[in-house]
Amino acid sequence: MSEGNAKLRAIGAVLLIVLLGVGVAQCSSKRKIEDGVNVVIRNHAADKNYSILLADMDFRDDKYYHKYDVILMDPDSTFREEHTDWMEVSPPYFQRCQNAMGMEVASCVNGKVEQNIAPPGYSNHVGNPHYGRWHGGYWIFFSRYSWLGSRYRNSYYRPDYNSYNTYSSSYRAHNRDYYGQSGKYGTSAYTSTQQGKSTTWGGRSPQFKNNVRSQVKRSATRYTRSSTRSRSGGFGK
């Protein structure tokens, strides 16, 4: 083999490695998904107070999806609710929130965003003397904010002092997710209500849900590994 041909082969091999690297990087980038909740937060960057509730979830075509309800307070102290369409989320985020339907998955209080899971309203409205008061161990909203009381009762629960105090002192203060005492809130409780049964996830069969739980565990692991490789610039040395 001539020296010229050897050089051409060497150059070709280098180009092949570069192209393969680009291909891997492109595949990795395709796997990067901006979680729907972060899109909602970005879209409401100008709003200072809101709560984002996980309204529904689904798995189809090897992709994971969420729907959100966004409770917003306008400058005149009136409330309104927005409902998103299906938004894709990453496998790790779907796995984290698989027991959080009906729950608050993000909130903004006076411009500060939090992304901990909690019973709806706990971060923003429950326990806030501007909106109501404690009576007989339960939170009662003032008549001006009765819509909030109705909205949260429809989410399957009535805020009680012991639960809220535990959340405030032991969970929120340490950025931990809170599903209520003994984990009584979340997907299972929500999908047993009339409102929860009418959701897409609430209508899925137990076998389908179990299959998705197993699938997302594997998908989340692969996704995390892929993201780690992408950040490190390759597949190791």
pLDDT at 233: 54
Cα–Cα distance measured from residue 146 to residue 134, given in angstroms and rounded to the nearest whole number: 14
Whether residue 60 is found in the same domain as residue 99: yes
Cβ neighbours for 221, distance < 8 A, ≥ 6 positions apart: none
When pLDDT is averaged across residues 82-108 and rounded to a whole number, the result is: 97
Q: Are residues 17 and 51 in the same domain?
A: no
* Mean pLDDT score of the chain: 86
Q: Yes or no: say if 104 and 50 are a contact pair by the CB < 8 Å rule.
A: no
230 or 26, which is more confident: 230
120 pLDDT tier (thresholds 50, 70, 90):
very high
Q: How many other C-beta atoms lie within 10 A of the C-beta of residue 80?
A: 11
pLDDT at 23 over 90: no
Q: Tell me the residue length of the chain.
A: 237
What are the tokens at 128? 């806030």
* The two structure tokens encoding residue 200: 């897409």
Q: Band the pLDDT of 235: cuts 50, 70, 90.
A: very low
CB-based contacts of 189, cutoff 8 Å, min separation 6: 102, 156, 157, 196
Same domain, yes or no, for 17 and 58? Answer: no
User: For residue 24, what pLDDT is reported?
Assistant: 41
Domain match, 59 and 167 both: yes
Q: What is the pLDDT of residue 31?
A: 61
Q: What is the pLDDT of residues 54-92, one digit of tens each?
A: 999 999 999 999 999 999 988 777 899 999 999 999 999
Percentage of the chain beyond pLDDT 70 is: 81
Could you tell me which residues are beta bridge partners of residue 134?
Answer: 139
pLDDT at 157: 72
At 172, is the secondary structure helix, strand, or coil?
helix
The reply to whether 160 falls in a domain is yes
- pLDDT of 236 reads 45
Q: How many domains does the chain have?
A: 2
What's residue 137's pLDDT? 93
Domain co-membership, 125 together with 197:
yes
Q: Based on the domain organization, do 24 and 70 belong to the same domain?
A: no
132-190 pLDDT, tens per residue? 999 999 999 999 998 888 888 766 678 899 999 999 999 999 999 999 888 889 999 99
Name the pLDDT band for 7 (thresholds 50, 70, 90): low
Mean pLDDT of 126-136: 94
pLDDT score for 41: 98
- Please tell me whether residues 15 and 121 are part of one structural domain: no
Q: Is residue 237 part of a domain?
A: no
Residue 83 forms part of a structural domain: yes
- Confidence (pLDDT) at 154: 60
Q: Which domain holds residue 166?
A: 36-232
User: Residue 160 in 3-state DSSP?
Assistant: strand
Q: Does one domain contain both 117 and 224?
A: yes
Phi-psi region of 7 (alpha: psi -120 to 50; beta: other; left: phi over 0): alpha
DSSP 66: E
Residue 173 is classified by DSSP as G
On whether both 54 and 90 belong to a single domain, the answer is yes
pLDDT score recorded for residue 237: 39
Do 107 and 134 lie in a common domain? Answer: yes
Burial of 148 (0-12, 13-18, 19+ CB in 10 A): buried
CA separation for the pair 145, 132 (Å, rounded): 8
pLDDT, tens only, 188-204: 999 998 899 999 999 99
Residue bearing the bigger pLDDT, 61 or 228: 61
Please give the full DSSP string across 133-148, using - where no structure is assigned.
EEETTEEEE-GGGHHH
Helix (H) or strand (E) holding 68: strand 63-73
**In a shared domain, residues 5 and 113:** no
Average pLDDT over residues 111-139: 94
